[in-house]
Amino acid sequence: MGSHRHSTLVVTTALAALAVAIAPAAQGSPAAPPQSPMNVSMGEVQCKDYSQFVATYPLTSGLFGNDPSRVPTVHFDMQASQASPSTPYTITVNGQDRVTGSISSGGRLATDVVLTNNQPSRVMLHTGYRTMVDRTITPRC
């Protein structure tokens, strides 16, 4: 019981000291802009051949358009900031979710997203309420 009271006292004292230290700093300086939850780089469109994949896994044939030997994709590299415990993200193409997940603090992720050949594609990457990428491209493979 005494240990619990001691822990509560230490935490309360630490919080009070933190509040005292923050108050003058907050009054004297403008608020810093929030740190971006992740760094994102979007590559150029690449034409990939998925015909062997479709031959091996025929149930996937509808995922790659009419010609699986000429499939446009775009590559994303993402790295979450150290400040965020987990960063959720969604990549959409023309409003349809293509990739959804989360990246842990400081984590990296690379993924390719399939686009529709010879059609304008609005590619967006969202994390929470922030749009990190918003580009419209028309791939030609």
DSSP H helices in 29-133? 51-56
Same domain, 7 and 71: no
Same domain, 111 and 59: yes
Same domain, 121 and 71: yes
Same domain, 120 and 65: yes
Instruction: Please give the share of the chain, as a percent, with pLDDT higher than 90.
Output: 54
Q: Please list, in sequence order, all residues whose beta carbon lies within 8 angstroms of the beta carbon of residue 34, skipping any fewer than 6 positions away.
A: none
Same domain, 19 and 2: yes
Question: The whole model's pTM is what?
Answer: 0.69
Cα 40 from Cα 91, distance rounded (Å) = 12
CA angle 121, 36, 111 (to 5 degrees): 45
CB 76 within 8 A of CB 41: yes
Same domain, 47 and 97: yes
Cα 119 from Cα 76, distance rounded (Å) = 20
Same domain, 83 and 20: no
Same domain, 54 and 84: yes
Same domain, 22 and 75: no
Same domain, 28 and 42: no
What CATH number did the domain enclosing 98 receive?
2.60.40
pLDDT tens, position by position, 64-94: 888 999 999 999 999 988 887 888 999 999 9
What does DSSP say about strands 108-114 and 96-104: parallel, antiparallel, or unpaired? unpaired
Same domain, 53 and 21: no
CA distances from 115 to 85, 90, 118, 121, 141 (A): 31, 15, 9, 7, 10
* CB-count burial class (<10 Å; 0-12, 13-18, 19+) for 80: buried
Q: Tokens 């790659």 belong to which residue?
A: 64
Q: How many domains does the chain have?
A: 2
Same domain, 22 and 55: no
- State which residues form the domain around 8: 1-32
Q: What type of residue sits at position 8?
A: T
pLDDT tens, position by position, 25-72: 445 445 444 567 788 999 999 999 999 999 999 999 888 888 999 999
Who has greater pLDDT, 104 or 37?
104
